[in-house]
Structure 1
Amino acid sequence: MDKAQRKDVPKPVFPAAPVTYPMYDEAAIHNEQAWQTMNVHDPGIFRDDDGTYYVYSTDVQTKAKLTPGVMVRKSKDLIAWEWVGRALPGIPDLAKEETGASNLWAPDVFKHGDTYRMYYSASSFGTNGSLIGLMTAKSPEGPWEEGGVAMRTKSGDPGPNAIDAQIAVDAMGKQWLLYGSFFDGIYITRLNPETGLPSEPGFGKRIAARDKATREGAVEGPYIMYHEGFRQYYLFVSYDSLFRNYNVRVGRSDFIDGPYVDFNGRRLDDIHYMPQSDVGTKLMGGYEFSEGEGWVHPGHNSVLREGDDWYMVHHARGKTNPQWPYLHIRRIAWTPDGWPVVSPERYAGEKEQPIPVELIAGEWEIIVHLPESDAAIGAEKARLEADGAIIGTGSTALVSGQWQLDEHAATLSLHWRDVNGEARTAAGRVLTGWDWERSVPALVFTCLDDRGIAIWGKRTKD
């Protein structure tokens, strides 16, 4: 569109410098009040009625003796976090007796009426001798009381693993228990809303699984959200090894109990399609821009929705020392055809808004989240010219092509030929953000290409 013909787009508002916390903070090892985003693993997000955000997470502690009991943190803005404490005084007796667990995993909190329900997992690592327990309270900070056992599985038995619970709600307001892992995949079953426990016996229905004979074979950390605009349910899961190549995938369905398919129409419960790494639309894996800390093994996400604003909440490990897990929150945007994509940068208070076309031209760093990649993917360089041309580095990303921006919807379209000469396209959103690597405001984009591969961009200079 000719600049003289288009409607003026106001200058976007970039977020102010957010609070930052030190990485690999040895001085805070025994000072829980200074943990903030440190020692967060498998975070479950919950927003209370007064606007306070809570994160409940797996019991982990870097370089010190572990204290079990479900870690709790809170925030007013999703950026600055305050240590609350532990929800429980330790592992409930029944859970410890049945599973031999040494810590509690992957809690999820759900409010029904005036009662808060916390679902926790107890397990012996590497087995499916597991239990999902229910605790109830009248406050998100407790005290918590026993509410029963939502699901249990026995070590060595065929079938699922009773860990990683989430309470999902369908379009009719019905509640479902979602859970599972490497052992036979992800399952879903209806809940009795009055008790918070399954409404019928058995494990429920399997909706995602992988062939355990290939690669890691792991799928875990399920989370379902419904999008009214697209009339789709979205199942987020984490693939592969916690400590080697963890990554986040998604599929969608017309129904909460599936079948869930990825961008290419492959079912997330298809254990026969090869390679298995191509099943599930990969939203992010390990990555590293040219400056600052790289991040590895991101995953086990929850999702927060506030009106039209969506956020992914997950953990990631610093590339320099992957022993240390941290809380990450990223804005979720949506492609024109209804797929979620996540910001390349952690949330810093930015809002989605129109983006003037004249801000696009400049030097960009590009990250392509190839589904088969196990390593942290490094950034490539490309220049987006004011005339709409793309000039790349001749590598696997944007070699040469054209870009186009719908300013008012902040929707970016990319067209290029890859190193094999194949014509490619991608579509997604341009967002304002905070460049955490360089400590400056930044423009970013997040897209899916025509093969369902996530592409990130960050503008680094004019």
Structure 2
Amino acid sequence: MKNRAYIITSLLFLSLFIGLALYYFLVKEDVSITMPEPPAEEPISKVDAAIMHNEAKWTTNNTHDGEIIKVDGMYYVFSTDYMVAGEPKPGIMVRKSPDLVNWEFVGRVFDAVPEDVKEWTNGASIFWAPDVVEMNGTFYLYYSVSEFGTKNSYIGLATSQSIEGPWENKGEVFKTKNGDEYQVNAIDPGIIFDREGEPWMVFGSYAGGIYITELNKETGKLKEPGNQGTQVANKGRQDHQALEGPAIMYHSDTDYFYLTVSYGWLEDTYNVRVGRSKEITGPYLDYNENDLVDIESVTGSPDVGTKIVGSYAFENDSGWQGTGHNGLLRDGDDYYFIHNARAGNDPYWSHLHVRKLYWTEDGWPAVSPQRYAGEVEQKMSKKAVIGEWENIVLDRLNDNVLQSQQLSLLSNGKLNEETSQDYWELTGENTLKLYWYAPDDAPNDYWVDTVVVAPAWDWENWTETIIFTGYSEQFGEAVWGKKVAK
């Protein structure tokens, strides 16, 4: 009888101990998490015929090839003129926002392509893929005009004392013609400053690849006129689609330059890839250490570069496709990534997406799987991440719309099943590690996904949520997660 009482007492103490341990694990350990506010009073429609011909209500609609700059507390996006169900006006669209969430259509730069540029490009009448920077107390706006599908292209420059204009055209920066001596195509300029503050222009598209050349800081034009510079990315195998839309960002903490480029067709398979280098002129290597130029050496792959944004769909939503041509912004200690995205249910509706950019422990940029709504990176808790998730792996070999899959982070630290050998752990402030058991294959029997966890707004279900973003050790592919609302 005494033994029985002893056993019962021991079990009661064990239950109490387990209960206290779970309390500490799930509650006491919890920290206060600041969630973003709703980005609008009600969900925003991807397709809205009522605003089709009303520019004042476009907000993020009809944006393509955007580049971003912050001036006097206001964010500006300059982009290719694009319009659903109508002829675009010749000009460069300008939008502005005080918070990266609420956008106002400002207007356009230019009323028409200059006659000499039009003649060079055989009558092309649309400005493409602008970029704007501030140098010497002046704003420098770089634009491109091209005869579609050819190398008859022109990069020009305009300047202004005000970010909202008026702008004065300064003429040619670089131009190319079919059959000339240049490999590069004079299109899609992106301006980046090196460690010493000197400006460079990264540019190019399609078969010629991406090049970088140095600029004269005083004039904003080429330091060596006619010098196409150094190739930093290549098109890949000839059966693959476009390579275009380059941008470069420097991160002082990692001391790397990061080159982003877009592959695929702009209406569906468009996706953004990244490589990094200690030198602004390269070589730029992806997560798997493949050179973005030496593309033919990648056996069995149509391309290189680590995909960080691609076409996707979470549950309860048609998703997004054509997620490419990005811009990059550093704003103090925060980093942002913008790109155009087309509605999954109607690819003619192109929107501006702004996303928070996070940084992994090993110095790689990881894009949020949700559009920005004012969230702040902060310390996270185990309690916050326990639950059901939607998981997307950005397969580098599949540029179609990728559907989310279910993922469970269980309270006992396991993944998907209580008795699974797969498990998770939260380390540091907000780093989540997912361990996938693969004996005789993975180092130490586990492949590890290392991701950053942060609060976000769930645009598909219009509620607050938690996300993760980072990379898989096995294939070096970006992995996204979004916690399912209870």
| TM-score of the superposed pair, with normalisation by structure 1 | 0.94
Change (3 A) 1:7 1:184: farther
Alignment of 1:263-274 (within 5 A): 263-273=287-297, 274=299
Give the 5 Å matches for 1:380-399: 380-391=405-416
2:61, 2:440 → 1: CA distance?
A: 43
Moved more, 286-295 or 205-214: 205-214
Q: Which amino acid in the other structure matches residue 132 of structure 1?
A: I
Identity %, equivalent residues: 43
- The 5-angstrom pairing of residues 198-277 of structure 1 reads 198-201=222-225, 202-216=227-241, 218-273=242-297, 274-277=299-302
DSSP 3-state at the match of 1:183: helix
**CA 93–263 in structure 1, closer or farther in 2 if over 3 Å, else same:** same
2:105 maps to 1:83 = yes
Partner of 1:181: 205
Aligned partners of 1:426, 1:189: CA distance in 2, in Å? 37
CA shift digits 1:159-217 (9 cap, x unpaired): 1111110110111111101101113100101110000001003211111002341322x
In the alignment, structure 1 segments of 5+ residues that lack a partner are 393-398
Separation of aligned partners in 1, 2:421 and 2:188: 43
Find the counterpart in structure 2 of residue 143 from structure 1.
Answer: 166
Structure 2, gaps ≥5 residues long: 1-20
Q: 1:133 to 1:312 in 2, by over 3 A?
A: same
337-346 or 266-275, which deviates more: 266-275
User: Which is greater in Rg?
Assistant: 2
The verdict on how the C-alpha distance between 1:382 and 1:204 changes in structure 2, with shifts beyond 3 A counting, is same
* Aligned CA distance change for structure 1 residues 206 and 361 (closer, same or farther; 3 Å): same
154-163 or 131-140: bigger deviation: 154-163
Q: Distance in 2 between matches of 1:458 and 1:298?
A: 18
**Which secondary structure does the structure 2 equivalent of 1:323 belong to?**
strand
Is residue 128–residue 183 contact of structure 1 (8 Å, CA) maintained in 2? no
CA–CA distance in structure 1, aligned partners of residues 145 and 437 of structure 2: 50
Question: RMSD across aligned C-alpha pairs, in angstroms?
Answer: 2.1
Moved more, 450-459 or 272-281: 272-281
Mapped contact 1:41–1:60 kept (Cα < 8 A): yes
Residue pair 2:353, 2:371 contacting (<8 A) in 1 also: yes
> What is the aligned residue count?
454
Q: Identify the match of residue 124 of structure 1 among 123, 132, 147.
A: 147
Provide the rounded CA distance (Å) in 1 between the counterparts of 2:93 and 2:211: 26
| Cα offsets for 1:371-421 (capped at 9, x unmatched) | 0112100010011011210017xxxxxx96111112x52011111137997
User: Does the CA-based 8 Å contact 1:391-1:400 persist in structure 2?
Assistant: no
CA contact (8 A) 2:29 2:382 kept: no
- 8 Å CA contact retained: 2:277, 2:284: yes
TM-fit CA distance, 1:461: 3.7
Map of 1:415 onto structure 2? 435
Superposition pairs for residues 22-421 of structure 1, below 5 Å?
A: 22-48=45-71, 50-99=72-121, 100-157=123-180, 158-201=182-225, 202-216=227-241, 218-273=242-297, 274-391=299-416, 401-406=422-427, 408-417=428-437
Stretches (4+) displaced over 4 A: 1-9, 418-422
The DSSP-based 3-state class of the residue aligned with 2:118 is helix
| Gap change, CA 1:360 and 1:152, over 3 Å in 2 | same
Counterpart of 2:7 in structure 1 is: none
1: CA distance between counterparts of 2:368 and 2:421? 23
Aligned to 2:31: 10
Contact 1:233 1:256 survives alignment (8 Å): yes
Contact 1:293-1:437 within 8 A present in 2 as well:
no
Tell me which residue corresponds to 1:395.
none
2-structure distance, mates of 1:421, 1:196: 53
CA distance in 1: counterparts of 2:485 and 2:150, whole angstroms: 50
Counterparts of 1:225 and 1:3 in 2: how far apart (Å)? 44
